[in-house]
Each structure stands twice: as C-alpha cells, then as structure tokens.
Amino acid sequence: MDDKSGVINLEYEVIRYDFSKAGQASSEIKKVLKQLGINSNIVRKVAIATYEAEMNIAIHSLGGRIIVTITESNINISALDYGPGIENIKLAMEEGFSTAPNNIRELGFGAGMGLPNMKRCSDVFEICSKKNKGTKVDMKISLN
Amino acid sequence: MKLSAIKETLNAQVLTGEEFLDKEVYAAFGCDLMSDVLAFVKEDTVLLTGLTNPQVIRTAEMIDVFAIIFVRGKKPNSQVIDMAKERNITVMTTDYILYNACGKLYEKGLQGLDIKGVQVNG
Ligand SMILES: Nc1ncnc2c1ncn2[C@@H]1O[C@H](COP(=O)(O)OP(=O)(O)OP(=O)(O)O)[C@@H](O)[C@H]1O
Ligand SMILES: [Mg+2]
C-alpha cells in the first residue's frame, strides 16, 4: 500500500510454528527497503529487528502480525501477537534469558538474544505485554 | 580468503553457488545459535554451522552472509539448497567437525570476529 503522502505501509501475518515460512515477511521487508535505495546499514538493522520479531511471534506466541511504516524520516516496526503475553518483561529483556523448549533450540533459537538484538538495532524500543492478552513491540529506526 | 581456498582447505563439497567461489571473506564465525549470528556477524564473513534448517539460510540472508559451511558432513534437504541458490548464497559441506574446520581456516590466516564480550545477567 502506497499512499499519496509518501508513506509506505507493509503488513504481514506471522503464523505460529510455521518454520518453513517464518522469515518470509522479514525477507520481503528487506527487499522493499533495498528497492527504495535505503542505506545498507539501516536495511541491516531493520532486517535483524524484523527477523527476531518474526521468529519470536512464530516461536513464542499464538500468532501475530508485523507492520512496517516507512516515512520520510523513520522506519517504524510494530510486532504484535494474540498471546499468551510475557509475564516478566524485565527478565525477558535480559541477554541469555529464554524459555524456548528443546525442539526450538534444535532449530538454532533460544539464545535469549532476540529482544536485546531488537533493542540494539532500534533508536526507540518499546515493549508492552499483558499476560493472556498479547505482546506488542514497537521499534523506530531513524533514516537520518 | 577466497571461497575456493576454503573449499580446498576443508576438503568441502559445494552444494550450490559454485559460480561464486572467487568471492572473498575476511572473517569466519562458527555457531549454532542464530541470534548470536545476527548479533555479531558482519558482512563478508563465512558462517560455519551444524544446523541445516531453512532458518540458517534466512539468518544469512538478513545480514548479507553469502557463504555457509555445514560441518560434520551435514547436508540440508533440497528445499534448503534451493533457498540458498535463489539468494546467491554459496553452500558447502565438510566432514570436519566445527572445531577442526574452524582451526584449519584459522591456521590458514582467516581470523575470527572481534566482538565485545556478551554480558550474561543473573
Ligand atoms: N511474542 C512473545 N510472546 C511471548 N513470549 C515472548 C515473546 N517474545 C519473547 N518472549 C519471551 O521472552 C524470552 C526472550 O526472548 P528473546 O527473543 O530475547 O530470546 P529467545 O527467543 O528465547 O531466543 P533467541 O531470540 O536468542 O533465539 C523468550 O524466551 C520468551 O519467553
Ligand atoms: Mg527470540
């Protein structure tokens, strides 16, 4: 969707445990940013942030969405899901903390580095979560 | 180090991307944790791993890694090889274990990545 104000909106559904598709949204987002000629350092940050967010939704949630809005000055990423929420956000943000079960660790996930990676890649990072409701991660990456 | 030299050093079999063996990498990273790969790997780095699932290719794609070596004789399925092919990623497999594969490349002068220590809380 590309409206007149020059703002581009991208939106993708992320399905729980669909590991053959998980990563596709991030891959498409990356392609769009490259096509727009956005600086490769910024593309890299967005790619890492969206991919970690997408994998978290696929692994830890019941499913959700990734929404990317590109304006003249910023790239805004929202990753939201339909539950089950994070009980202790402070703990979840710590490097090395993970509740990933063995079958997920066998895929190469569960280092407990995803949320810290997302934070590191973004200029503004906000996470809110409600137990039994869902989680929303908002990230802003400045284009300047 | 050229990918062709890596192939030779590791006695590796190229599964896809034979046409890119002239490309050069300046560092190597051996790891089975994808978030650590995303956190630490810079461009022009070869990734050595024992994991062969689609997420390895996706992870490489996100950070523009164009060469992956599967260790311990692991071979991904054809779907994963096709994913790599579509993304112009060279994929090889070697019979060496991760430790020996890294050691052999290091011996030939290929450096590891310089990273700041990871803080583990708790
Ligand atoms: N969308 C989510 N819904 C519910 N819980 C989540 C969600 N995202 C993260 N978590 C919780 O926070 C923990 C830490 O997340 P983080 O992404 O940092 O690490 P990880 O996913 O476990 O491992 P890695 O990202 O390194 O592969 C997770 O193990 C999980 O318990
Ligand atoms: Mg994660």
Residue by residue, pLDDT tens for chain A (144 residues) are 555 568 999 999 999 999 989 999 999 999 999 999 999 999 999 999 999 999 999 999 999 999 999 999 999 999 999 999 999 999 999 999 999 999 999 999 999 999 999 999 999 999 999 999 999 999 999 998
Q: Which ligand is nearest to the CA of A135?
A: 1
Helix (H) or strand (E) holding A44: helix A40-60
Q: Does ligand 1 come within 6 angstroms of the Cβ of A110?
A: yes
Residue B122 confidence (pLDDT) above 90: no
Percentage, residues of chain B above pLDDT 90: 89
Q: What is the pLDDT of residue B114?
A: 80
Residues 6+ apart with CB under 8 A from A43: A30, A33, A34
Out of B34, B59, B120, closest to residue A96 by CB: B120
3-state SS of chain B is CEHHHHHHHCCCEEEECHHHCCCECCEEEECCCHHHHHHHCCCCEEEEECCCCHHHHHHHHHCCCCEEEECCCCCCCHHHHHHHHHCCCEEEECCCCHHHHHHHHHHCCCCECCCCCCCCCC
A10 in contact with B, Cβ within 8 Å: no
Q: How far is the centre of ligand 2, averaged over its atoms, from the C-alpha of A103 (Å)?
A: 14
Identify the pLDDT of residue A3: 53
Answer whether B72's CB lies under 8 Å from B97's CB. yes
Question: Within 13 Å and on the Cβ side, how many CA atoms surround A28?
Answer: 14
Model confidence, pTM: 0.94
Which domains can be identified in chain B, with CATH numbers?
Answer: 3-107 (3.40.1390.20)
- Residues of chain B neighbouring A94 (CB-CB closer than 8 A): 121-122
- Per residue in B49-90, pLDDT (tens digit) is 999 999 999 999 999 999 999 999 999 999 999 999 999 999
pLDDT at residue B5 tops 70: yes
Is pLDDT of B26 > 70?
A: yes
DSSP structure class, residue A19? T
Contacts of A110 in chain B (CB under 8 A): 33
Rounded to two decimals, the ipTM of the complex is 0.91
**Confidence at B115, pLDDT banded by 50, 70, 90:** confident
CA of A113 to the centre of ligand 2 (A): 6
Mean pLDDT of chain B: 93
pLDDT of residue B121: 41
B→A contacts (Cβ < 8 Å), by residue, are: 32-36, 38-39, 49, 51, 53-56, 58-59, 61-64, 79, 118-122
